[in-house]
Amino acid sequence: DTGVSQNPRHKITKRGQNVTFRCDPISEHNRLYWYRQTLGQGPEFLTYFQNEAQLEKSRLLSDRFSAERPKGSFSTLEIQRTEQGDSAMYLCASSRDAQQETQYFGPGTRLLVL
Amino acid sequence: AQSVTQLGSHVSVSEGALVLLRCNYSSSVPPYLFWYVQYPNQGLQLLLKYTSAATLVKGINGFEAEFKKSETSFHLTKPSAHMSDAAEYFCAARGGYQKVTFGTGTKLQVIP
């Protein structure tokens, strides 16, 4: 069990640029979640996948955000035309497909939009 | 829908003193409850979870939490604070297959 990994760990970009983050879940986990955490707040849910299917999206996930999990393994989160308000820590978590299963979190990708 | 309230965004305790971090939840169904710890610039690490098996849940690093349905609370305690406990703590709730809802966090400062 190598844990959830996320890349890159840090990203600085200029407003208007596109960015893409990657999450590699724990290998046997079917469910994968994306959260966003801004300074002084708890993580807020963005979206989740069961295998390759995206089952729920938060209203926080504007049209500029898109997430994929094409083969049911790793996932990418893309933000198009970044805005300064997108600056945050983006956290990925994974879990087994069962009600009481714990979500295990990756170290996060910290995005700074200048 | 779940909501989680953590009372006190900052808590300071002396080293060796009792740690008490408060969490209340609102839910129409019995939730699964969690405490996570986050160190600076790191992801969240699970401390403990309540899944209805026992109301008193023991976690890692000497932490424990008690589920009190009548008070809709899930407070986190540790008998004796250690300097390494300084971090931010998040209470979270999940009902069934739903997403996890987090509280706003409590930063714990441990004073030598």
Q: What is the pLDDT of residues B43-53, one digit of tens each?
A: 899 999 988 77
- By Cβ distance, the residue of B9, B46, B102 closest to A102 is B46
Q: Considering only residues B100 and A81, tell me which one the structure prediction assigns the higher pLDDT.
A: A81
Task: Give the pLDDT score at A102.
Answer: 83
Amino acid B2: pLDDT: 72
Residue B56 pLDDT = 93
Residue from A34, A54, A105 to probe the interface with B (highest B Cβ count within 10 Å): A105
Per-residue pLDDT tens for B12-43?
A: 999 999 999 999 998 766 678 999 999 987 88
Cβ–Cβ below 8 Å for A107 and B49: no
Amino acid (1-letter code) at residue A68: E
Nearest to B9 by CA among B110, B109, B112: B109
* Whole-angstrom distance, CA of residue B20 vs CA of residue B80: 10
- Parallel, antiparallel or unpaired: strands B32-38 and A19-24: unpaired
| Per-residue CA distances from B81 to A11, A62, A72, B38, B39 (Å) | 35, 42, 42, 16, 16
C-alpha to C-alpha distance for B90 and A46, rounded to whole angstroms: 18
Flag whether pLDDT at A89 surpasses 90: yes
Please compute the mean of the pLDDT values over residues A1-17 and round it to a whole number: 92
Residues of B in contact with A102 (CB under 8 A): 34, 46, 49
**% of chain A residues with pLDDT over 70:** 96
Whole-angstrom distance, CA of residue A49 vs CA of residue A56: 7
Best residue of B9, B49, B100, B101 to probe chain A, by most A CBs closer than 10 Å: B100
pLDDT of amino acid B75: 97
Looking at chain B, which residue has its C-alpha nearest residue A57?
B99
Q: What is the mean pLDDT of residues A20-29?
A: 95
pLDDT the model gives residue B1: 64
Supply the pLDDT for residue A99: 63
Instruction: Name the DSSP class of B74.
Output: E
Contact B73, B89 (CB under 8 A): no
Cα–Cα distance, B21 to B26 (Å, whole number): 17
Alpha-carbon distance of A96 to A98, in angstroms, equals: 6
Are B43 and A99 inside 8 Å of each other by CB? Answer: no
| Residue B79 banded pLDDT, cuts 50, 70, 90 | very high
